[in-house]
Amino acid sequence: MLAIVLSTLLAQAAPAYLAACPAEEGRVLSHPPFTAPDNVHPTNRRARFFLDLGSDGRIRRVVLVESSGDATFDTDALEAAKNYRFAPPTQGCISTSSVVPEDFDVSLITLARPAPGTTGIPELPTSPPASAVAVCSTTPLAQLTGLGAPDTRQAPGTVDIDLGLDAAAHVTSAKIATSSGNAKTDANALALARDAEFQLMLEPGCSARRTIYRLELTFH
């Protein structure tokens, strides 16, 4: 249900302190039960979302990637997604913001409908219809795929960095949006962000384009 892979770009002689900070994938801590509302008429097997997580695991943004074909189902699934709780991915004593895909499956009973011109076995959709594709968001999300590590352990704190990314997800600009309160920690976070690697997370049928992504780095 949750798969986050972050490639750690470390020098051959890794800083000694990293031994105390093994890399950990993000994981779901809790999520509410989801029951499809009554009287819905979905045309797709699922509603799919991207969940944008902060470096503390909170959900910052939810983007509909694939619609169920029923607005009520989509809305209820979105509200349920907002109540998920995560442990963020951590590497090199740094917790990072990240993007997680999440699916809400539609009941087969809800989807089943008589085959055209028959009263026999109900049929199920085999692929998402055009109405199931979400509208392209104006600000694409970006997934962190590579992050270095500072030479020394930094003073604890969280740094928010606004990164400009081009259509190939290369960093074109970086500026601190929220300081950790420690100048050295901020400077190291900014340097790591400029050299980090990303990929754009796009809805089906949407084209890659420039975006601004807020990267959160929490130093422990």
Flag whether 100 is in a domain: yes
Q: CB 101: neighbour CB atoms within 10 A?
A: 16
The residue range of the domain holding 48 is 7-114+127-219
- The H or E element containing residue 3 is none
Phi–psi pair at 137, nearest 5 degrees: -75, 150
Q: Is residue 69 part of a domain?
A: yes
**pLDDT tens digits for range 127-185:** 667 667 777 877 899 999 999 988 888 999 999 999 999 999 999 999 999 999 999 99
**Residue 119 counted as domain residue:** no
Q: What is the dihedral sign for C-alpha 149, 153, 156, 161?
A: negative
pTM: 0.81
- Residue 184 in any domain: the answer is yes
How many CB atoms sit inside 10 A of residue 208's CB? Answer: 14
pLDDT at 156: 95
- Split at pLDDT 50, 70, 90, the class of 125 is low
> Is 187 part of a structural domain of the chain?
yes
pLDDT at 7: 43
Query: What is the predicted pLDDT for the residue at 14?
Result: 62
156 within a domain of the structure (yes/no):
yes
Domain-located, residue 39: yes
Q: 33-56 pLDDT, tens per residue?
A: 888 888 888 888 899 999 999 999
Number of structural domains the chain divides into: 1
Q: Can you give the pLDDT at residue 9?
A: 39
Residue 120 lies in a domain: no
